[in-house]
Amino acid sequence: MTERQLSIILAVVYEYIKTGEPAGSRTITRKYIRGLSPATIRNEMADLEEMGYFYQPHSSSGRLPTARAYRVYIDSVTSRARHHLHAEDIRQEILGSKSGIEDLLMHVTHLMARLTNCVAVAAVPALESAEIQHIDFILMGGNNVLALIVLKGGLVHHSQFTLPYEVDAKTLEDFSRRINTFAGGHSWSEVKEILYQYASSGLSEAETSCRDAITELDKFLTEQNYKFFSAGARNILDLPHFQTISRIQAVLNLLEQEKPLARMIEKCRKSKALNIALGEENETEGMEDNAMILIPARPRQQKAVLGLIGPMRMDYEKSISVLETVADVLDEDSSGR
């Protein structure tokens, strides 16, 4: 690719992000690349179309960027220094919050959604290694039991499961009390073996039911890898891109199914870097026309991932700036700077 072709790709993507209209050769020469004739630009655009960077919705219209062109544009955006938009406002909103991590992440997702007009998400991973504050088992009737797990920072998880044997409320209360005598301040991976030993040696006839309760709780804490927060789903209804029902449904499915989203969040968490998935790089069916930006963060000293979901034609410079600023401020909040 020549420097001229690169300039044309960047111009076409930028023009489409700002206006939503196909870019023609005259627009490019008038607004972005002076000194070249429209005919020269037109020939270059035709070559770039053959290379897979552009397409024409109609034979007489200008060009629209493909996911390949967006990738070139994003690489350009992320390779240069960025001005952090709304930095002071974001800092004041986040650092002024004294709430626990759950309320903080709910607040952060609403803040990001408001600033970008995208769907904002946040996820806290690895429940198994999180520090436990309190666990309660509540008998819901028959063999059904509700487990409430409160983690350090105030994050609450719950799971309902069915035991193969009936157990009375007093046994569950005793079991909860026993757990909390040594669970507080420790991770589940540290606690569960002690609980199995206790169930074997100290519960006599209730041993089987309590061992099953531990197993169900272990399954929940190790398989439910993330606690999700989201905001701004209504924002996409106002975007022209989402006037098609299938595109709205694809985003809602991604938020509801969680597993594809969790895989992408896990990838971002392991990479420890900004991650942008375009089109078919998104793992949910129907997301081919959408984009997702994810970034690691450390709210209240816990590992987390923040993200934005929107159309392929999102304002990447603004969206990346907001995400990076929020992540930086959360890190600042955690370190007490």
Domain that holds residue 172: 132-223
Nearest to 182, CA basis, from 171, 172, 195: 195
pLDDT in tens, 197-249: 665 554 555 566 666 767 766 766 655 567 889 998 887 777 777 777 777 88
Q: What angle do CA 224, 227, 231 make, to 5 degrees?
A: 140
Q: Rounded to two decimals, what is the model's pTM?
A: 0.72
pLDDT at position 130: 65
DSSP 56: -
Identify the CATH number of the domain in which residue 180 sits.
3.30.390
Output the CA–CA distances (angstroms, integers) from residue 130 to 55, 182, 196, 302, 319, in the order listed.
Answer: 49, 15, 19, 8, 30
pLDDT score, position 200: 59
Same-domain pairing of 122 and 231: yes
* Residues 256 and 194 grouped into a single domain: no
pLDDT averaged over the chain?
A: 82
Q: Are residues 306 and 240 in the same domain?
A: yes
Nearest to 300 by CA among 330, 260, 268, 264: 330
Same domain, 120 and 245: yes
Do 175 and 213 meet the contact criterion of CB atoms below 8 Å apart?
yes
Same domain, 70 and 104: no
Name which residue leads in pLDDT, 303 or 70.
Answer: 70
For position 146, what pLDDT does the model report? 85
Last residue of a domain, one of 170, 194, 223: 223
Mean pLDDT of 85-109: 83
Our count of domains for the chain comes to 3
Euclidean distance between CA atoms 70 and 303, whole angstroms = 29
Mean pLDDT of 283-290: 77
